[in-house]
Structure formats: structure tokens, C-alpha cells
Structure 1
Amino acid sequence: MFTGILAAAVTPLTADGSAVDAAGVQRQVDHIVGGGVHGLVPGGSTGEFTTLSLDERKQVTELYVEAAAGRVPVVAGTSALSTAETVELSVHAEKAGADAVMIVPPFYDALSFEELLAYYGAVSDAIDIPIMYYNIPSASGVRLTPEQLAQLARETAVASYKDTGGDYAWFSAVHQQHAADITALNGWDTLTFAALANGAKAGVWGTASVIPRLCADLYDAVAVRGDLEAGRALWAKIFPICRFLESHNYACGIKTGVELVGVGAGPTRLPVLPLAPRYREELRRLLVAAGAVEDRVAV
């Protein structure tokens, strides 16, 4: 149901990190949507969902839906360690106006496939909007075969999946062999160009929260117009930023990036620390090289 680039969005916090910053959400949405990005995914890993209370997570969903105001679809992250809490968050997201929910399998104690079917089945029974499966084996410990992922989609309301596994052969197998069952969305930053060139309909991309126009232009060049030459030129600017972000705490990197481009979202919550000054300067230089910020004295 999704096409284009969907921005994995941060959770703006007040300066002391103690509360969600509602005005900050509006700034993020206006920046992202104004840059031509096609959708929003708040409440995921980039949104630091594991550090938020249940009430804060509901607040974030409500704020992003309100700020989007129907301009682009909103996919709310509703992952939780228990089925009951995941259902509660998902039901709330639907009532708040989200277009879909994104759910990572409960982490820490990896589920069997049978347990996974029951977990997503329970959410499917509770809501009428689609589910995006969040494939991130490094965090969840769950490694499905392409056939199992297709079966999950056939037997539940899972309609698409965000692939943050980094295994391009696995992603390609699902995309090429099981497209009738499930829509593949790339979620591994440095594989974005390859995934779009391979025909992926969409991607969930944290970098799009920082440099939305470049990311939207890449999608248009590669996925819409099939202009690989133009796409390569854009990718040459974008790739170094993606590689940097994958080398650091991702949420912290994105929050630093949005601050550097002028739409600050406050700090990350502890235990994640701010980027060291030398890394902050490295990211600034990459954004300057991409044309996203003006060159100036290091901050």
C-alpha cells in the first residue's frame, strides 16, 4: 500500500529529555513533508521507542498524525514485549488515525515461528489497518526464511515489511519470489540505491528525516524515471551520510543530523550519549558536501 520514501522519524524531546516536545514534532513533519518525502514512520527505533513510556508513545502517534494532517500516510510503531501492550498500542494508533502500524517481534527472548504467527495474529484480530513487519534480526533475534515471511503475510494482516537485516540476497528473494504475498520496503540505509534499482516500491529511511529533498529526488530518479545516471549522482552525495549513520548509534546520529540542518529535536534519552564532538563535526562536513547545510566554522 506504500510507495516512495517514508521517513523514520525521531521523537523530539524537551531540552532536558524529560518530555515529548509537541512543537518539535510539527517542525519535523513540516521539514520532512516539505522536502517531498512520501510518508512518516514515528515510534520506531529512530524514535527511541524503547525509552518512552506507554503514554508517551501514544502521544507521539497522536502528534505525528495531527501534524501530518492527511498530507502523507503515517505508520505508527507499536512494538512491545507483550502481546497485550502491542495490541493496546495498535488499537490506539488506529483510533488516532494512523494508516498502518509497524511491529518488530518482541526482543530479548526470540519467538518461535508458531509464537510469531500467534503474536501478529492477535494484533490482526484487534485492528483493521495493515501491519508492517519490522525485520531487524540483530535486535529481535528472529530470522525468518522468505517462505516464512510470506506465510506470515498470508495468515495475518501483515501486508508489508521493513527490511533492516542488511542481507540483500534475502531481501531480493522476498521481493522477487513473494511479491504477491508481501510488499518489500528497504530499511537498510546503505542498500537504498540497490533496493530501488531492484524495483522496491518503497523504503523506510531515517536519513530522509535529515535530508528529505535529496532522498525524495533519489526515489524519483531511480524508482520513477529509471534514470540511473542521475540516481548515481545523488547517491554519491547521500551514501557517505548513510554509512556514517550506520557506524554510530542511529537515533543519536539522526537527531544530530536534524539539529545540524536546522530542525533540532532535543537530546536522545539516556543511556544513549550525544555524539562526540569529532563525530558531530564529521557529520557536519558530510552534510556540507551534500549541499544540505552551508559551510561554516565547526560547531
Structure 2
Amino acid sequence: MKAQTGASAAKPWSPRGLFPATITPFAADLSVDYAALESHFREMAGVAGVSGIVVNSGIGELLQLTPDECDAIIRIALRVRRPDQRIVAGIDGRGAAECIEAGLRARVAGADALLVLPPFDKRPYRRLAAHAPTVHHVFAELDRAVGLPMIVFQYPPNSGCAYPVEVLRAIADLENVVAVKVATMGDMKAYGEVWDALKDQLSILVGVDSPPLIDMLRHGAHGALIGISAILPQVWADILDHVNKGDRAAADALYEKICKPLMVSVFENQQPTRLVAESAATKEALVQLGRIPSARVRPPAIDVDDATRGVIRAALSHAGLVGPKASVA
């Protein structure tokens, strides 16, 4: 994992390392299970290679959380994080005004930084992600009104609202735009274009939960912001460490044994064929590992079914994570 300094050194923060995107556990009545949530956050905070905890993201079911719940989740993360860890809060909104409102709430709750989901992920607006003046306006307003470091969430090309490289370049000079989460799924070409163009201006964080992740790290990255690392964060921190040190054998061995089975069973290599929510599948893996009590998700997301449960159980068993030969707890 190559490290660059460049212009990003002048930013208020240059994210480096692993940033797990966390889940939101729910109780039987679908209220937030804050006790389970705190335990989940403590596991993330206890890993030396975790540089920050990402809350209220897509995998954390941001779209199904109330503003008050988002605030409470941020406060719990603040309570358990290490002094050297940042709390990154996801925000979503249609246009600058809604994003500013969400960003200001996150700042008041205590978030250190924002993960800004594309404000254009609505069918009539998706093409606006390619219009540099419009994108620049939204992020400039956030920069001015909220004043927190921002990680730009770059969606995959097939989403219809991915930012072209020239648009990312146009907002890179804003003081509080500090990083891009590059979620290009398996598209190495798209990832490489962002890295090559912006690595000296912004922190580039790999954002895929599929096997190309390790190739992206090796191509060049400042870190990773991934939902799959909510499952066994120490393993993913070790992967980043092995890649950073150039220990290909150790990285490949761990990746084949644990990471790939998780990617296949939980995220279907980000080429889903089932309707079960990725948040539900992630929670199911955590349930089977004894980390949280329930895999419930809020509607309209779909809970895990028996088939998915079995696929995850088989993958965890094959990786030696559950069962009589379990070696990772």
C-alpha cells in the first residue's frame, strides 16, 4: 500500500489506515440496540490498526435512521473511541441545504469528519454528478457552513452518479475535502484513474468489499473504508499492514483463508443475486461469530433467509472462524 504526501499534507486531516463502516444493531421492536452497538464499536476501537470508526453509513442503514438516532450513535462512538481515532459520520441529502443540515447535526453531536454520500443519487439528478459547477457548489457550501473534513463517497461507474475524475479534481482544492472513498466495485481501471489523478492532493481510500480490494491496495492507497471490516476488523487491519510492508505471502495467505470467504458469502463479491440486504448479511456473520445478538434490519431492507444463513455458516466454518476448529475469535 503506497503512501504519498503531496498536497494532502496541507489539509486539516489526511486519513490513513483502516476505517470500518459499522452496522446498527436493532432490538426485537426494531429500536436501536444501543448496548449491542456500543459493544460493536468497542471491538472496532480496540484494534490498533483502526484509524477511525465510520457510523451512519450505508451498511449502517443511514436511510432508515432518524436524525436523533444518528446523533445518539455518534455520541456512543465518541464514548468508546481511542484518543487517536476519528469518528466519521455518514450524511445524505438532496442538494446543499439538506446536506448542510445533516452535517451541522453531525458536528454538534461531536463527529470529527463526514462521509458525504452523493447528493445526486436520485434518478432525475444522477447526471448532475458529471457537472463540475453543480458538484463544486454543494461541496463548497458544506465546506463553508459545516467546516468538518469531508470524505467524498465515489460510487461505482454503473451507479449512474459516479463523479468523473475531472469533477473530483475540481473539488479537491476545497479545504475540507480531504479524501475519496473509491467504491468502484471490481473496476480496477476506474480505481486506478482516481488514484493516479488525485493521490498527491487527497487521501485515496479503497472502498470495495470484493476480491479486487487487495489489488487496489497494491496499486496504491492511503487506506481503506470498507463495510466488510466491521467483521473481524483485526484481520483487515493485518491485511493493510502486510500489504504496506510488502509481505505478499502473509497478505495472500490471510486473504485467501478469511477475506475471500467473507466477501463471497456476505457481499457476493458485490455482484448480488439475492435480495437479502448486505447490512443483514453482515449482521448475520456477526451473529454467528457471537458479536451481536440479532441480524434484524429495518424495512424495506430484507432480513437474512435460511439459505443465506447457511452460506455464511459454511464460509465461516471453511475459514476456521466457527465450529470445533475455530482459530479466530
Give the TM-score normalised by structure 1. 0.91
Please name the residue that 1:135 is paired with: 154
| Cα 1:293/1:274, change in 2 over 3 Å | same
| Cα 1:198/1:137, change in 2 over 3 Å | closer
Q: Which runs of 5+ in 2 are unaligned?
A: 1-13
Among 287, 292, 304, the residue aligned to 1:275: 304
The answer as to whether partners of 1:11 and 1:265 remain within 8 angstroms in 2 is: no
The answer as to whether partners of 2:20 and 2:54 remain within 8 angstroms in 1 is: yes
Equivalent runs, 1:11-30 vs 2, <5 Å: 11-17=24-30, 19-30=31-42
Give the TM-score normalised by structure 2. 0.83
Q: Which whole-Å CA distance do the structure 2 matches of 1:239 and 1:207 have between them?
A: 11
1:287 deviates by 1.6
Q: Which whole-Å CA distance do the structure 2 matches of 1:261 and 1:123 have between them?
A: 39
1:33 partner letter: A
1:208 partner letter: S
Please name the residue that 2:278 is paired with: 250
Q: Which whole-Å CA distance do the structure 2 matches of 1:58 and 1:265 have between them?
A: 23
Tell me if 1:34 matches 2:46: yes
What CA RMSD, in Å, does the superposition of the two structures yield over aligned residues? 2.0
The answer as to whether partners of 1:39 and 1:73 remain within 8 angstroms in 2 is: yes
1:156 deviates by 5.6
| Cα 1:28/1:145, change in 2 over 3 Å | same
Equivalent runs, 1:38-117 vs 2, <5 Å: 38-70=51-83, 72-106=85-119, 107-108=121-122, 109-110=125-126, 111=128, 112-117=131-136
Q: Which whole-Å CA distance do the structure 1 matches of 2:84 and 2:38 have between them?
A: 13
Q: Which whole-Å CA distance do the structure 1 matches of 2:293 and 2:56 have between them?
A: 14
Please name the residue that 1:264 is paired with: 292
Among 216, 221, 230, the residue aligned to 2:250: 230
The answer as to whether partners of 2:143 and 2:174 remain within 8 angstroms in 1 is: no
The answer as to whether partners of 2:281 and 2:308 remain within 8 angstroms in 1 is: no
Tell me if 1:207 matches 2:228: yes
1:125 partner letter: R
Please name the residue that 1:219 is paired with: 240
Aligned length, in residue pairs: 294
Q: Which runs of 5+ in 1 are unaligned?
A: none
Q: Give percent identity, aligned residues only.
A: 25
2:118 partner letter: P
Q: Which whole-Å CA distance do the structure 2 matches of 1:210 and 1:21 have between them?
A: 18
Q: Which whole-Å CA distance do the structure 2 matches of 1:82 and 1:265 have between them?
A: 37
The answer as to whether partners of 2:228 and 2:282 remain within 8 angstroms in 1 is: yes
- Give the match's secondary structure for 1:142: coil
Please name the residue that 2:314 is paired with: 285
Please name the residue that 1:119 is paired with: 138
Q: Which whole-Å CA distance do the structure 1 matches of 2:145 and 2:266 have between them?
A: 36
Q: Which whole-Å CA distance do the structure 2 matches of 1:173 and 1:233 have between them?
A: 28
- Give the match's secondary structure for 2:93: coil
The answer as to whether partners of 1:255 and 1:265 remain within 8 angstroms in 2 is: no
The answer as to whether partners of 1:117 and 1:156 remain within 8 angstroms in 2 is: no
The answer as to whether partners of 2:266 and 2:285 remain within 8 angstroms in 1 is: no
1:138 deviates by 6.7
Q: Which moved more, 1:167-176 or 1:61-70?
A: 61-70
Q: Which whole-Å CA distance do the structure 2 matches of 1:185 and 1:28 have between them?
A: 22
Q: Which whole-Å CA distance do the structure 2 matches of 1:246 and 1:232 have between them?
A: 19
| Cα 1:140/1:67, change in 2 over 3 Å | farther
